[in-house]
Amino acid sequence: MIYTVTFNPSLDYIVDVSEFKTGVVNRTTGEKIFPGGKGINVSIVLKNLGSQSTALGFTAGFTGNEIERLLEEKGVDTDFISVSDGVSRINVKLRSDEETEINGQGPGISEDNINELYSKLDKLDENDVLVLAGSIPDVMPSSMYMDIMKYLSGKNIKIVVDATKNLLTNVLPYGPFLIKPNNHELGEIFGVEIKDKDDVIKYAKKLQEQGARNVLVSMAGDGAVLVTEDAQEFKAEAPKGELKNSVGAGDSMVAGFVYGYLKTNDYKQAFMYGVCTGSASAFSEELATKAEVDALLDKSKEIF
């Protein structure tokens, strides 16, 4: 079974406004509401590809109930912990002449709530995959990802981490199965400018030296790189298509990689699925569907 963790899920409210102006009443020309959060995105894309997962995390209040309802509507299994302090956040994306985002804070999460999460993680074994993705709310320990990996060490669970800076580097001694920084985040970790895919490979190997088993690096329009635990190196240019929505593309890449690896047990195939799934989401208003991913795989074979 695949499990994803989203510590601070959201309702993402996306509104289109023609020529937005401050200080006056603006009316929308279009609006959408989605369940949001990096781990949730991974679960949705896995479901779209035909692989079931269970979404873990914390929800609260009427917004939390709506997040769960929307995920149930999409066929995603959830096992969220309901907390009593506050409500799950609403993130607003305003699309006009410019894009503006306003992200909510989210609920309070207590030590008892965190202990309940550990109780759920106790059920995982070596046949399971755990995806830890996104930021940590201020109300939780900043070491949360590292604490979880330390807690689960020795159980041979394949743990995937998609996070930034210290959240990512702190988990490396515990041997994550896969980490997925982007090229800018990779440069920030080492205080360097990443100029090309050879630079990516060089610094991805340094992350392996610190404990990561496989390093998948997304490079937006410049493609992606994978360095594997068995010393394979894969590079790909970005598939061709019209960029419509970059939100969730990185999460989709993670979902595609996990899906491809579990399906084929082959790193090259996993890389191909990851790249094409990430791109399929970028070329769509919503997250990638299996038909969109399969179509990109068929027409993008020459880039691998």
Close Cβ partners of 200 (under 8 Å, ≥ 6 residues apart)? 183, 186, 194, 217, 219, 225
Q: Which two tokens stand for residue 219?
A: 């490079």
288 exposure class (CB count in 10 Å sphere: 0-12, 13-18, 19+): buried
Task: List the one residue out of 223, 209, 213 whose CA is nearest residue 282.
Answer: 223
Which DSSP category does 222 fall into? G
Close Cβ partners of 66 (under 8 Å, ≥ 6 residues apart)? 11, 33
| Active site positions, annotated | 251
The three-state DSSP-derived secondary structure of 109-171 is: CCHHHHHHHHHHHCCCCCCCEEEEECCCCCCCCCCHHHHHHHHHCCCCCEEEEECCHHHHHCC
- Residue pointed to by tokens 């009593």: 84
Close Cβ partners of 259 (under 8 Å, ≥ 6 residues apart)? 46, 49, 50, 51, 273, 277
Q: How many other C-beta atoms lie within 10 A of the C-beta of residue 191?
A: 6
Task: List the one residue out of 69, 102, 63 whose CA is nearest residue 83.
Answer: 63
Q: Do the Cβ atoms of 44 and 72 come closer than 8 Å? A: no
Task: List the one residue out of 158, 159, 156 whose CA is nearest residue 146.
Answer: 159
